[in-house]
Amino acid sequence: MAMLLCVGARKRAAIVNDLIRMTNPELLVAHFPELHTAAHQWLHNETPDHRCYDAALVSALGTPIRQVYEAVDGAIGKLVEQLPPETTVLLVCLGGVRVTHGGAYLLHDLLHRLGLSVLARPGDPKSWRYFPEPVRRALRRCREIWTGHRLSNSAQRLNLDWSKTRAFALPWAYDGYLRINQRRREPCGIVAEGAEREQVLAEIEEAVHLLRLAGTDEPAAKAVIRAQKEFPGAASSELPDLMVLWNNARPFDAVESAQVGRIENRDPAGRSAHSSLGGMFAYGPLIAAGPTIGGVRDFDIAPTILELLGINVPRHLDGHAMSELIASGPSRPGVRASKHVPDSAEKTH
């Protein structure tokens, strides 16, 4: 697979070079996703203290991630070599990938311990039919993992007893997301909007804050976020009601508290998570020479590109142009580096 990603990066660069020669565009955006794919695929296999570390793989293949990075670096280098000298170049990495040590099922188990999420009895279809088939398939798979065995065909309709479930965890790979089983919003909602909903959310938040990594005084969660308040907008009702960002940067076997006891970390963590840390490099006649700048966010990039193109930035557009990056007049080509920290990614991954 690493070889295929390397070949893909080289082919992508060749296609982009052909486009430049044929069209001479004023603006061209090229995306190399191979780096992201490689990191998700192998980072946990290459990290020695991870439960998925594969010494035999590393011995046989070396570091596939490095191979892909070198291929993409070479492909970008050849692309840049073909650009005319008057070209301004922005090389942007919107985010990275970090090692995570699991926690995907902790929230489900916590809700079960608190009595807020109740499994349906075998043979009891409850209101399963009200959920769309894609949601049913996802929940069936999650229940297989949560219960440790594959359900029989006759039992695949079962999951939660929605007449008793007040909050339920959403299938998610890295952290804990949940929805309140809210009346008039969920197909079988039982929790009233307002004071009752607030009471359930507050109970869950308190229980999460009490959790510690087993055997330590270290909090089990880095943050607990009310998604609708943090990300308001027309579609905010579709977001999770609560996001729990677990403290999973190092190995842990369980979380615990006096309230709920010990909850095992049953997540094999066979994949890495997203990181908000990225970077940006810029050079060309429109770039002001100077020291490294910081505090750049992902939504500052679009306004900056518009200003470089001489286009007025719409007022409704999030972010602002990085004026300190842009040359105010005729200048020698400069190279600038910027630490890139997209705030939104920090709160959701």
Structure confidence by residue, pLDDT tens digits, 69-127 = 999 999 999 998 888 888 899 998 888 888 899 898 999 999 999 999 998 765 445 55
Give residue 156's pLDDT band: very low, low, confident or very high (50, 70, 90).
very low
Angle between helices 64-81 and 2-23 (to 10 degrees): 10
Residue 343 has pLDDT above 70, yes or no: no
If asked whether residues 232 and 276 sit together in one domain, one would say no
If asked whether residues 205 and 344 sit together in one domain, one would say no
If asked whether residues 260 and 172 sit together in one domain, one would say yes
Selected residue with higher pLDDT from 205 and 26: 205
**Residue 122 CB contacts under 8 Å (≥ 6 apart), including other chains:** 155, 158
If asked whether residues 252 and 306 sit together in one domain, one would say no
Name the residue range of residue 57's domain.
1-83
pLDDT of residue 207: 97
If asked whether residues 122 and 243 sit together in one domain, one would say yes
What pTM does this model have? 0.73
Rg (C-alpha) for the chain, rounded Å, is 24
Q: Which of 69, 47, 49 is nearest to 57 (CA)?
A: 47
What six digits make up the tokens of 275?
């990181």
Q: Which of 108, 76, 93 is nearest to 267 (CA)?
A: 108
Distance of alpha carbon 161 from alpha carbon 126, whole angstroms: 7
Q: Do residues 38 and 5 touch, judged by C-beta distance below 8 A? A: yes
Residue 206 has pLDDT above 90, yes or no: yes
If asked whether residues 286 and 227 sit together in one domain, one would say no
Residue 133 has pLDDT above 50, yes or no: yes
Number of domains in the chain: 3
If asked whether residues 91 and 128 sit together in one domain, one would say no
Q: Which of 112, 96, 261 is nearest to 176 (CA)?
A: 112
Stretch 307-332: mean pLDDT: 81
pLDDT tens figures, 193-205:
999 999 999 999 9
Stretch 240-253: mean pLDDT: 93
If asked whether residues 35 and 91 sit together in one domain, one would say no
pLDDT of residue 180: 95
